[in-house]
Amino acid sequence: MKLKFKAFAAFMLAAVVSLALFLSPSEAAKARQLRYYALDVGQGDCSLFVLPDGRNVVFDAGPRSNAKKTVNYLKSCGVRKIDLLVASHPHEDHIGGMKELLSKIPVKQIWDSGYNHGSKVQRDFYQMIKDKKIPFGRPKRGYAAKLGDVTLEVLAPAKPLKGTSSDANNNGLIVLVTYGDVSFLMMGDAQKEEQKTISPLPRASVLKAAHHGARNGTDAELLRDVSPDIIILSYKRGNSYGHPHKETVSAIRRAKILRFDTADGPVKLRTDGKSVTFERKRVVK
């Protein structure tokens, strides 16, 4: 039995080595790329990182109304399992799709903000994590995880904030994802109150705009600190909140940042850790 296993392991090793030898230079370069997708989930949020080593990290799962489409889109990106699923905060537009996602795609680990909203959608989410026995953590500022060459750094929450304009938003996870010289700042729906707990906010190549481009999430001060090359706004056109707010839109325009909206369809970026390329027909002016 042991010998058989050894022979199999030797065969697999040979297969991997020969695969590596026969990769063309462009395929080898592709293999070192990180792919990022901001999905079009309607009014809500869902992002996918496909890491250079093939691991998948998903931030949020969009609203329940879009859940089936969200799961199908993730599958169309080649996602057969999720290595890390991050629930930025417990609002429905971020975790409403979790039930469908957890029932269709195996998840190895979950990070949650730890903010107890008490809603049915959050209770259902927690119940499902329990039923499926998925390892679950509530990382705080200072925690970092290394997945191959990619680092995920938790910038917030540090300690619970109370009495803010939205405690659910302001106790959410803010995570910096870094690959080489390129970083993505994942803000969730964090508003000014939580952002102020991080000083200074780090510089990032790509900013996943806070709170769907709401004025209390993404303003000129945030744009100055983070100084992104690319900003992504996730929202549904004609939403009842008026996202993105006109103050945010004009601050982005003044700062001359390349802007992509999920309302125009999914946003797809690639990086080799040095520069970022994008697939997009329409750039918002």
Would you tell me which residues interact with Zn ion (CB under 5 A)? 93, 189
Least distance (Å) between residue 212 CB and Zn ion = 6
Q: Name beta bridge partners: 137.
A: 111
Q: Please, which residue, 93 or 194, has the CB nearer to Zn ion? A: 93
Contact yes or no for 195/222 (Cβ under 8 A): yes
Least distance (Å) between residue 48 CB and Zn ion = 17
Q: Please, which residue, 148 or 242, has the CB nearer to Zn ion? A: 242
What is the torsion angle, in degrees rounded to the nearest 10, for the CA atoms of residue 208, residue 211, residue 217 and residue 220? Answer: 40
Q: Please, which residue, 112 or 189, has the CB nearer to Zn ion? A: 189
Give, rounded to a whole angstrom, the gap between the first and last alpha carbons of the chain.
64
Q: Please, which residue, 83 or 93, has the CB nearer to Zn ion? A: 93
Least distance (Å) between residue 42 CB and Zn ion = 11
Q: Are strands 144-147 and 136-137 parallel, antiparallel or unpaired?
A: unpaired
* Backbone torsions φ then ψ of 90, nearest 5 degrees: -85, 20
Tokens of 100: 């469908």
Contact yes or no for 52/180 (Cβ under 8 A): no
Least distance (Å) between residue 210 CB and Zn ion = 9
